[in-house]
Amino acid sequence: MAPMRFTSRFDPRAGAADLWEYLREPRPYRWPILAVSIAIPLAGVAMLTQESHFRPPDAPKVNFISTFAEGRSDEEIRQSNLVNQQRKEAREAEREELRARKVEAYKALGRATGLDVDEMERQAQIEAAREKAIAEARRRERYQAGSALDLSGD
């Protein structure tokens, strides 16, 4: 048995001739189909051959800014905390006063339009109490569940 040559079975010239004959036949959309057929693999190869090198980000530079004087004593810290607490309480009192005035303005508007604002206020208080009770019950339930987990984990 004579050895077969590899080139005799797979002749690229015959394949190219067949392709050229196929392309020469008048078919509708042959050029757009050929262009898309060539563009898709070329786009894939182009995407795969691109390399990206990402450098790691620079470490953040932290600058500590302190508005407090260096070397404050404990008493100075305590006094500044007291002053800040008084400012906070004054702001909260002012907000509460504004809220109360707003409520009174809405009540006056409601009375002027013929609404029973006292009944509406009672209903709102009942609803607020109900929501508070529900929140308290949930808090207790979570606390008890957490305590049970702590005890069982020992």
Residue ranges, the chain, pLDDT below 50? 154
- Exposure b/e, 59-73, CB count within 10 A at least 16 = b: eeeeeeeeeeeeeee
Q: By residue range, what is the domain housing residue 124?
A: 116-154
Say what the pLDDT of residue 4 is. Answer: 56
Cα–Cα distance measured from residue 109 to residue 106, given in angstroms and rounded to the nearest whole number: 5
In a domain, 47, yes or no: no
| 79 and 98 fall within a common domain | yes
95 and 120 inside one domain: no
- For residue 27, the model assigns a pLDDT of 85
Domain count, the chain: 2
* Any domain includes 66: no
Residue 32: inside a domain = no
At 117, list the tokens.
């604002």
pTM: 0.40
Residues 106 and 134 in one domain: no
Q: What is the pLDDT of residue 81?
A: 93
Please answer whether residues 88 and 94 qualify as being in contact, where contact means their C-beta atoms are separated by less than 8 angstroms: no
